[in-house]
């Protein structure tokens, strides 16, 4: 691959990743919504496509076909729910994560209080860490989109950093290829 082609391909990819990273960083909820719409579209098309196929080949339905019909109807229902509110699935998943953190933190708190009775000196470190976990669990339950925003923004920052690294590396590699081409 010559250095001009490398620069061109890397520049196009870097521009796409930079724009995507900026969108995720600046508009996290809107980006999640767009992702939800894409997932909903795929679910809807898959569900409808399978139902159409079953309808055309309805000579004999097997138990497997009936299961797929049910799954197709569920997929269509979920896709409609996502179209109506694209962030609902993120909310549900994050509330479950928050509940897991809260319950696990409370169980660990109970265990560390038993541990403290043994006069261990480091018990307060564990209680501090458990407190942070419990608070994060409560925060996620109360505001489930907070976690989604944070993760989406971190993904945006990662894409921007990746773009910068790619551009710097492309500059070095294309310079090397240019020198190598001239010596041939």
User: What is the chain's pLDDT, residue by residue, as a tens digit (184 residues)?
Assistant: 566 776 777 788 888 888 988 988 899 888 888 888 998 999 999 999 989 988 887 767 788 888 888 999 999 999 999 899 888 878 888 888 889 989 988 888 887 777 777 766 677 888 888 999 999 899 989 988 888 888 889 999 999 998 888 888 888 777 777 777 777 6
Would you give the end-to-end CA distance of the chain in angstroms? 14
Structure tokens at 163: 């773009």
DSSP letter for each residue of 99-166: HHHHHHHHHHHHHHHHHHTTT-TTHHHHHHHHHHHHHHHHHHHH-HHHHHHHHHHHHHHHHHHHHHHH
Closest by CA position to 23, among listed 166, 150, 152, 165: 152
């Amino acid at each position: 691959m010559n250095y001009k082609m490398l620069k061109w391909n890397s520049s196009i990819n870097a521009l796409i990743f930079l724009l995507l990273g900026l969108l995720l960083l600046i508009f996290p909820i809107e980006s999640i919504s767009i992702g939800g719409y894409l997932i909903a579209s795929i679910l809807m098309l898959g569900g409808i496509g399978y139902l159409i196929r079953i309808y055309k080949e309805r000579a004999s339905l097997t138990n497997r076909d009936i299961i797929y019909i049910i799954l197709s109807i569920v997929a269509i229902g979920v896709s409609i729910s996502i179209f109506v509110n694209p962030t609902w699935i993120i909310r549900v998943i994050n509330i479950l994560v928050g509940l897991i953190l809260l319950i696990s933190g409370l169980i660990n708190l109970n265990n560390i209080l038993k541990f403290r009775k043994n006069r261990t000196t480091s018990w307060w470190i564990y209680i501090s860490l458990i407190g942070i976990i419990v608070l994060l669990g409560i925060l996620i339950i109360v505001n489930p989109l907070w976690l989604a925003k944070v993760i989406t923004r971190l993904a945006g920052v990662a894409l921007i950093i990746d773009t910068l690294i790619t551009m710097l590396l492309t500059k070095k590699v294309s310079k090397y290829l240019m020198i190598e081409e001239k010596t041939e």
